[in-house]
Amino acid sequence: MFIGFDYGTASCSVATMQGNTPQMVPLEGDNYFIPSTLCAPTRESVSEYLYRFFNVSPTDKLGEQLLRSAIAANRHEGMELEHDDLIFGQAALERYLDDPEYVYYIKSPKSFLGANGLRDLQIRFFEDLVCSMMVNIKQKAESHLEQQVTQTVIGRPVNFQGLGGEQANQQAESILKNAAKRAGFVDIAFQFEPVAAGLDYESQLTEDKTVLVVDIGGGTTDCSLMRMGPSYRTQTNRKDSLLSHSGYRVGGNDLDIYLAFERVMPSLGRGSKMLNGIYMPQVQFWNPIAINNVAAQTDFYMASNLKVLEQLKSEAENPELIDRLLTVHEQTLGYQIVRHAEETKIAMSNQEKFSSILNLGGQTLETKIDQSQLEAAISNPVAKIVELIRSTLEQASEKPDVIYVTGGSARSPILRSQIEKELPGVPIVSGDFFGSVTAGLARYAQQVFS
């Protein structure tokens, strides 16, 4: 049996086909979408758990080395893993929020797969991380469908997050493919996420159209200009109907990060001065919330940076603000800050003003924001998304008849307004903001594996 598998930055989902209709599969209770999160007692617990409880073995000597090191580290800490020590989705987030200082928590591992400078052991660890999430999802899907799933089409962005160009894309796709094989999938194919979203929209068309698909995901935004409709629907290879596409590592997570940087981090000292009149270094306020950047997170949370922060506090005009930043370091609270910003962004989708309270290590910080402040805060990533649209259109010799927007952040009225300004008079339509990619992947899987 086959599934379409959207291994997303913000959430994961799968779908199969019932006749000619995609059918989403519940993965977390009755929910079709499971947050792309994982929580474990320690970082090393992931690899040992995958081997011990999911019965997934390493496939090479480096993987075996990683597993041995993980087991040794856990035994050194006196840790014996239990069956419920590795948890996923909403439950993982809740455990992290309950005890952020003493667990290993990761959100959106897809964001790291194309990162530059990853050593071989780091690549094997990310493979273990992705594989454990895939095993969990595969088991839940098989339990619901009551049959084994061995074939999958996995969605991928045009460009993964990473500065290495095609080499970064190959690295990321290789991690996904190896993880999927180890998770138990036998036949594995990939499809660009915006193309998949377009295939789902195409099923509704009664005449051929040129469609600009704008897929604003959690970690990347992808744009594809495609010819689609009844004349193209049965084609397995859509290369000739794909006129142009582009993608970049900017998405919903970036909107959240920039919003946190502009509206929350000033309460932690961003923009304040030292006693000598020099502004506090910006990097110390960016790194803790740059949750899609491995190097930034490592730099902020390393032990040596604690001394730097303590020195900044001693030289600060407002040491109480830097004391909050120290709390973020000590309790690993960067994810909580970004989550707070995400909740604010979502609330602002349908209201002009919003006020919320952030609990930060026992302190309460109030955030107030209106639409103009939100627009200013996220202007940088919004501009990058608009530039992607321009780039896609410049590659092609024609303009779209319609714009199809999808992805969670496509609900943003600010983004939709910017797209309308870029292409005035071209109608904008949307389907299932979260499920269109998954449905398109299932449709493509039916063509590939039937």
Tokens of 85: 């020590």
Span 149-171, average pLDDT: 87
Residue 26 pLDDT: 97
Distance CA 214, CA 407 (A): 8
Same domain for 149 and 8, yes or no, is yes
The last residue of one of the domains, among 153, 185, 217, is: 185
Averaged pLDDT of the chain: 93
Same domain for 389 and 373, yes or no, is no
Same domain for 390 and 293, yes or no, is no
In a domain, 102, yes or no: yes
% of the chain surpassing 90 pLDDT:
78
Same domain for 292 and 416, yes or no, is no
Same domain for 281 and 358, yes or no, is yes
In a domain, 274, yes or no: yes
Same domain for 154 and 70, yes or no, is yes
pLDDT digits (tens, 9 = 90+) for 10-39: 899 999 999 999 999 999 999 999 999 999
Number of domains present in the structure of the chain: 3
Give me the domain span that covers residue 45. Answer: 2-185
In a domain, 181, yes or no: yes
Confidence bin at 245 (pLDDT 50/70/90): confident
pLDDT digits (tens, 9 = 90+) for 175-226: 999 999 999 999 999 999 999 999 999 998 999 999 999 999 888 898 999 9
Pairing of strands 187-192, 151-156: parallel
Span 343-358, average pLDDT: 91
Residue 107 pLDDT: 87
Q: pLDDT at residue 272 above 90?
A: yes
CATH number of domain containing 236: 3.30.420.40
Same domain for 68 and 12, yes or no, is yes
Alpha helices in 44-83 (DSSP H): 45-52, 61-76
Span 393-413, average pLDDT: 91
Confidence bin at 100 (pLDDT 50/70/90): confident
Same domain for 222 and 346, yes or no, is no
Same domain for 143 and 272, yes or no, is no
In a domain, 200, yes or no: no
For the stretch 335-338, contacts whose Cβ atoms lie closer than 8 Å and that sit 24 or more positions apart, written own/partner, are 335/96, 335/100, 335/105, 335/107, 335/291, 336/97, 336/100, 336/360, 337/260, 337/264, 337/265, 337/288, 337/289, 338/253, 338/256, 338/257, 338/260, 338/289, 338/291
One-character DSSP codes across 360-393: ETTEEEEEEEEHHHHHHHTHHHHHHHHHHHHHHH
Span 413-418, average pLDDT: 92
Q: pLDDT at residue 163 above 70?
A: no
